[in-house]
Amino acid sequence: MKLKKILSRFLKLHPKEIDLSLGRINQLCKKLGNPQDKIKVINFLGTNGKNSTIQACFSILKEANIKCNVYTSPHIQKINERFIFNNNELKDDELVALFEEVEKVNDNEPITFFEMLTASYFYKAAQYPENINLVESGLFFRFDATNILKKNLASVITSISKDHLDWLPKNERTIEKIVFEKTSSLLESTIIIAKQNSHNTLNYIKKNISLNKSKKIFFHEDFSFLNNENTFIYYEKNKDDLKLPKPNIRGQYQLENISTAIATLRTLNLGIENSHIKNGIQKINNVARLQEIKSGKLKNLVKNNLFLISGDHNEDGARVLNEYLESLDCKKHIVIGMMANKDHEKYISYLKNISSITTVDIPNQENSISGESLKEKFKNYPNVKYQKSIENAIKSISLDKGDLLLITGSLYLCSEVLNQN
């Protein structure tokens, strides 16, 4: 209860949810003693794959007995997920103590919710100066609260595509502008560039970082992978090939994220051995990204059928999700809810050969589109219906033996599945 009250106060410190600027976060961090200048950081920025790449890095680093702090967003079930120090989530009382201390220093100055969380993270992270910090950027990056470091170990650019366009002027809603916002202010250290979904995107990235003096590591040019039936082989220029077991997470695109993680950690010479990589990629904790639900109240409704949740919510996410679905030889049923600011028709257009689509409301999310409105947008697709609740949606679907049930369209919807299950 105390934690909820503090978070409620944080939300009231600024009239806007997002106000892209570095002034407020810099001012607060200065009062806190500039903790961001005292830590070792790997920054992760992009549209898709940030969290998955971070989780792969985290799992490998833990195998090497390297202590980590991890800052990600959004959280899926509880805000503690965003605050990992010494490899463990902070407990409620620890978060309360941290937030109260930072809140006192801020002294009711206007500042956004995300900026308060980020300042709190940096302040706590400075207590562990030897740890590796894996820090996920929020919106874009150029004016994101995580972009106040003077130095870092590396910047990792994951797949960039169109998302959060409502935060850009209408005449600037292009992939070129998004790439500029994400990559034009990177620090000079090491930059690892993951696989991109188009040559244009990659060329825009190369253009934006051309004057940056960092060491640059590109997917395909410097590292890559080959996917076999039971293994995948990681390739890196001027190094021996690495034959690896299949990871414990699903999807071809996750091999891309894992390869980016391996390239990052190997490039930084952190003492990572092949055994750390082999063991680490089989222990990745990747919640709500093609996550299988194996037990619980909602799983009981699905019985023995495969039950997955995946918070993909933009066109690039839908594209790679469909690649995975197309690899399965079964009927696919989708339950979907989305936020109002997403391109709903574009998202669903990527999902092919779907046996049924059931739209739902996302509980407790005032910025979501209603399931009824989503059904209307999908009316040209066969076998589309609306159910108000997740439970009723699952009950309404006639699953044959071997069918797949997938809940997708939003991380917030996946959060509700986990909470209700």
List the 190-193 sheet strands across, edge first: 88-89, 84-85, 68-71, 132-136, 40-45, 154-157, 190-193, 215-218
Give the integer Cα–Cα distance in Å for 51 and 116.
21
Give the integer Cα–Cα distance in Å for 268 and 273.
12
* pLDDT tens column, 103-148: 999 999 999 999 999 999 999 999 999 999 999 998 778 999 999 9
pLDDT at 171: 82
Virtual CA dihedral for 147, 152, 156, 161, nearest 10 degrees?
Answer: 10
Give the integer Cα–Cα distance in Å for 45 and 160.
9
pLDDT at 230: 83
CB 276 within 8 A of CB 57: no
Name the β-bridge partners of 359: 336, 386
pLDDT at 17: 85
Name the β-bridge partners of 216: 191
400: which 2 tokens?
A: 């044959």
pLDDT at 403: 98
Report whether the peptide linkage leading into residue 382 is cis, meaning its omega lies within 30 degrees of zero: no
Give the integer Cα–Cα distance in Å for 66 and 134.
12
300: which 2 tokens?
A: 């009981």
Q: Is the pTM of this model over 0.85?
A: yes
Question: Beta 223-227 vs 231-236: how paired, if at all?
Answer: antiparallel
- Name the helix (H) or strand (E) containing 333: strand 332-336
CB 136 within 8 A of CB 44: yes
Q: Would you say the C-alpha torsion 367, 91, 254, 263 has a positive or negative sign?
A: positive
405: which 2 tokens?
A: 């049930």
DSSP string, 7-58: HHHHHTSSSSS----SHHHHHHHHHTT-GGGGSEEEEEESSBSHHHHHHHHH
Angstrom distances, CA of residue 410 to CA of 52, 156, 329, 384: 16, 24, 25, 18
* Beta strand spans in 47-188 (E): 68-71, 84-85, 88-89, 132-136, 154-157
pLDDT at 231: 87
Give the three-class secondary structure for 243. strand
CB 205 within 8 A of CB 220: no
Question: Beta 84-85 vs 404-408: how paired, if at all?
Answer: unpaired
Angstrom distances, CA of residue 327 to CA of 251, 323, 330, 332, 353: 9, 7, 9, 11, 12
Q: Which domains does the chain have, with CATH numbers?
A: 2-280 (3.40.1190.10), 291-420 (3.90.190.20)
Per-position pLDDT tens, the chain of length 421 = 899 999 999 999 999 888 889 999 999 999 999 999 999 999 999 999 999 999 999 999 999 999 999 999 999 999 999 999 999 999 999 999 999 999 999 999 999 999 999 999 999 999 999 999 999 998 778 999 999 999 999 999 999 988 766 767 788 788 899 999 999 999 999 999 999 999 999 999 999 999 999 999 999 999 999 998 888 999 999 999 999 999 999 999 999 999 999 999 999 999 999 999 999 999 999 999 999 999 999 999 999 999 999 999 999 999 999 999 999 999 999 999 999 999 999 999 999 999 999 999 999 999 999 999 999 999 999 999 999 999 999 999 999 999 999 999 999 999 999 999 9
pLDDT at 118: 98
* pLDDT tens column, 204-220: 999 999 999 999 999 99
pLDDT at 324: 96
Give the integer Cα–Cα distance in Å for 418 and 4.
20
Give the three-class secondary structure for 335. strand
